[in-house]
Amino acid sequence: MLFVGLLGNEQYIIDVYNKQSGMYYMGIFYGGHGQLLLCQFIAVLVVVGWACFWSFLIFSLLNYVGLLRVPLEVEAIGLDAAEMAGAPDLSAAASLSDCKVRGFVKFLR
């Protein structure tokens, strides 16, 4: 997005849109004075602000409803084991991990 402010050329606008010359801003590399780059920088800030606003709104709503996080027990076990019913074969380490998971859940509470 910022490259327009750096590489914008009046001739490109004239060629593409069939406009008259003399009323368009150019990028810094083509003799512009930075106004086009400033406009592009403001556009980047607006896009970042828009994305942050909606992300905050959606994640706050998900957190309020309780859909943002999984329960602590599922988090301690791991989502793969909880959702896939232990799809990976961890039978040899089950007794060790079971003790560790219980201690981890106690620690989290």
Written as one string, the DSSP assignment of 16-71 is HH-PPSSS----GGGT--SHHHHHHHHHHHHHHHHHHHHHHHHHHHHHHHT-SS--
pLDDT at 64: 95
Answer with the residue of higher pLDDT: 54 or 104. 54
What are the structural domain ranges in the chain?
A: 1-69, 70-109
**What is the average pLDDT value for the chain, to the nearest integer?**
80
pLDDT over 90 at 81, yes or no: no
**pTM exceeding 0.75:** no
